[in-house]
Amino acid sequence: MNAGLEILIFLSGTVVGSFLNVCIIRIPQGLSIVNPPSRCASCGARIRFYDNIPIISYLILRARCRDCGAGISIRYPVVEALTGAILLALYWKFGWGAQLPAAFAFAAVLIVVAFIDLEHKIIPDVITLPGTPVFAAAGILIMDLTVWESLAGIAAGAGSLYLIAFIYRLLTKREGMGMGDVKLLAMLGAFLGWQSLLFILFVSSLLGSFAGGLIILAGRGNLKYAVPYGPFLSAAAVAYLFAGREIMQLVLYR
């Protein structure tokens, strides 16, 4: 392993993570993710280039705006570090080649989805609707899916989660998940294929149940507390990207 190259890959990922933070803030507001340049959310001061270095600037500034002293969310370095770590892990998984940028683009979109859903409890259509055909094409042309596997993934992804939501609403008379989750699972199936859906639904359910239990134990919610499901679907999809296919083969063909 080339340690210098791996450090460079991680740092490159943190730079992308800095851009993802912009997307997380602006997409729910319907704002451009390109213009204007980054500014403090509290005082509106433009962020200087040397205060916009991933992770490092957060530490140097001690999580405070240089101009007004307002606090800077821990989400910024978390997203940057997470994006860098995922890019490095994908490099270890796929090496150099077309699959690396395709898988990284997919994971980056899921990071944006997860953090927007955590904060706003929405999954914007502007991500999932164009994302489904784009990632279907990437899955077929780059990730070695057949057309049938991708199309079946879209249909089964949207259909299975819609059915679950419909039954839940029928039994409880209240919403259990939104249509954003349905569209997200369609996008996941488009890129990963229908074979991934059982793994994604099972793992995301486990993660969601565990998180919900922790929230209840911490006294921050009850059985009716609505936990955003998008982050768990996203985490399960990234997990499948790394090892889900191998795990499913072990389970089904042992």
List the beta bridge partners of residue 46.
39
- DSSP track, 88-128: HHHHHHH-SSTHHHHHHHHHHHHHHHHHHHHHHS---HHHH
Confidence grade of residue 34 (pLDDT, cut at 50, 70, 90): confident
How high is the pLDDT of residue 174? 57
Query: How is residue 28 annotated by DSSP?
Result: G
Does pLDDT of 253 surpass 80?
Answer: no
Q: Determine the 3-state secondary structure of 71 from DSSP.
A: strand
Confidence grade of residue 219 (pLDDT, cut at 50, 70, 90): low
Instruction: Tell me the pLDDT tens digit for each residue of 5-23.
Output: 999 999 999 999 999 999 9
Instruction: Tell me the pLDDT tens digit for each residue of 165-190.
Output: 666 566 555 555 567 888 999 999 99
Residues in the chain: 254
Total-model pTM: 0.88
Residue scoring higher pLDDT (167 or 44): 44
Instruction: Tell me the pLDDT tens digit for each residue of 74-131.
Output: 999 999 999 999 999 999 999 989 999 999 999 999 999 999 999 898 999 999 999 9
Phi, psi for residue 8 in degrees, rounded to 5: -65, -40
